[in-house]
A and B are shown apart, each in its own frame.
Chain A
């Protein structure tokens, strides 16, 4: 079985890595990572805006943002994928490639979850930080930009990285609308071989595991180093040096 698996990798490693590129669309691990990175990069500013709207005193901002977050959290990702996939061409009269559909869906979905992380990061800061900024004459926006968000976002880095790991796992659902990513590539191989599904999907699982495990390790390392930084490092060394 192991030799089977190794054989499959030897025959198909390029397909697993980059899909049919350059003869076809980019696929495999490369497409999965590209999709995840783009999704989280776009979802992040979106989530900050949603979080700020959720915390706003203006109901015209707060209510739609809250509705969006509760709506998205209450619907399975697959439903949203179908909605975007089928509704977009109907509403706008243009057909959107699978990759773009999946990207839009992920930005919406991960953004809604991430906005709760951002909101928690903002509200977790001591109230004295906002008080101090306001007492110095900062407007709400200026206090957010220079005092609150820089602290909250650094504190949230590990959670953002965890959300990135979830995003990578969620890209597998792109399979149902034929997005040529890693799961899609594995399924192509399986359809060709027909008799070795266990090996093929074991390889697939191990690949996801390797990517996600290293990222969760990175997240916990980040968490530790932020905790050390917060505790106030380097002070004894400085004193000694003086």
Chain B
């Protein structure tokens, strides 16, 4: 469903992504891990073209997101790719409910009443129906991130991307967000997650990609990756994680 073909990205001479060739199949859950600055977030942001690339292709459902396409076409593609940010990025001037209503209503031209009903159902799904009228500033980080997930789901995307969704959260709020992500995975959502939550990766991922210095150095099932990592850099990364 998501296909990277010979993707390269540079900032001047610095190589942010180097020769990425990988696939995320329909229904698959891929966890991207690796040290800070390894290009994980950059990689996931190329899928909906929040980052440009210098060469290669990123295909979503067979369409090259980075081709010379009309902006309306790019917007349509983006609306089919759910994206959850590390910093939530809820719209602070709108209530939780209106955050979820806005895009189906204004982008997909769903009637406001219908968008509202679906938004309430989604907020219920992430456990926040009782906070629908709260503004983002009145919600905890974990609650904000769950609203952000509901907001992304409101566009009924066939795939969801998560860019370090729990990294900005207090430890006690990580679980509630991961629980929502687990339930999405269980329902068969295609997911690509950049995360440091190795427990989540172990339990939920179908495959783990390990990145360093803009390259995918190793891919494998969680059992393979956590049990017997092949690449020396991956071995060092995992032993560093375990040592504290």
Contacts and interface: CB of A to CB of B under 8 A. Distances in A.
Interface residues of A, number: 28
Interface in A3-19: none
B142 to A, nearest CB: 14
Contact of A232 (B106, B107, B135, B152): B135
Interface string B133-157: 0110110000000000001100100
Interface string A117-156: 0000000001011011111111110100011001100100
A18 B108 CA distance: 53
B72 interface: yes
Contacts of A1: none
Interface string A217-242: 00000000000011111110010001
A142 B89 contact: no
Contacts, number: 80
B89 A134 contact: no
A129 B136 CA distance: 13
A134 B78 contact: yes
Nearest to A232: B137
Contacts of B155: 136-137
Given A126-B87, A146-B106, 6 more contacts: A128-B87, A128-B89, A147-B91, A151-B93, A235-B137, A238-B134
Interface of B: 48, 50, 71-72, 75-76, 78-81, 83, 85, 87, 89-93, 102-103, 106-108, 130, 134-135, 137-138, 151-152, 155
Interface of A: 126, 128-129, 131-140, 142, 146-147, 150-151, 154, 229-235, 238, 242
